Amino acid sequence: MRYNPAQLVEAVGRARGDGRYFLVGALLQVPVEEREEALAHVLNQQLRADERLSVLAGLARLRPTVYLAPLIETGLRSRSINVQQTAIACLPSLVGDGLDADLGRQVERWLRHRLANPRREQTWATWEIPAAALALLPSYGLDRVVGVLTAIEPRMLPEERQKWRSLQQSVGDYQTFTQLLRDWAMENGGEADDPDPEDPTADIAVDRVMKRLGYRPTNPDSAVHDPLADFDPLTYEVEYKDPS
């Protein structure tokens, strides 16, 4: 890595705005053996709700028995609907053999409350219902999840109701039903992914933030090409072309 975890953790506490968001993304790519300690330190700092959720999701992937509950409680109780939706999108890949009874109730309560919102159509995400169902499925079982979806069907949006009715043909087959829920959840990219470690844009953003805060890379050989690094607006010239 270009910067060591200790530098990134310290920088998160000093950075502001979107710069901090990119630093949190960089910490999610720290080597596994150092990642939990680094992310746990960041949790003690002042973070935006979306940043805190990203940190908790990273920790839950390492130790779900410890961090899954804080992830659900933080995400689903957030005042931001985007944070709530991101939390729901994370859950199918994190629940493993299933949620405990209390966490399952929280997910189901969120889903029912969400669909009861008369203004939901203004902020809905296509993965809300299938992702919540997938999160509940290992612990609830097929029949109970079908019961929950049947109960909320009257409040589904027309597109969701059409999807649900097409799934009802497969309710007798656990594997097929699960796969169809996954397909539904993924139709518009509804699964929260880790940041792409090959994304050069994120690397450039991290490098800019770290340089601005005065940090030097611990691995200077891992150069990041920033096309704007040498840009000087005072000397930049544009060839004039007569519009006529």
* Residue 37 amino acid letter: E
Q: Is the pTM of this model over 0.85?
A: no
| pLDDT tens per residue across span 177-200 | 999 999 999 986 655 555 454 555
Domain map (residue ranges) of the chain: 1-62+197-220, 96-193
Percent helix, strand, coil in the chain, to 5, is 65, 0, 35
Mean predicted lDDT score pLDDT of the chain: 86
pLDDT in tens, 205-240: 888 888 888 888 887 665 554 444 443 444 444 444
Kindly indicate the confidence band of residue 158, based on its pLDDT and cuts at 50, 70 and 90: very high
- For 51, 77, 111, 223, the CA distances from 46, given in Å and listed in that order, are 10, 18, 29, 30
The whole-angstrom separation of Cα 190 and Cα 188 is 6
CB 129 within 8 A of CB 149: yes
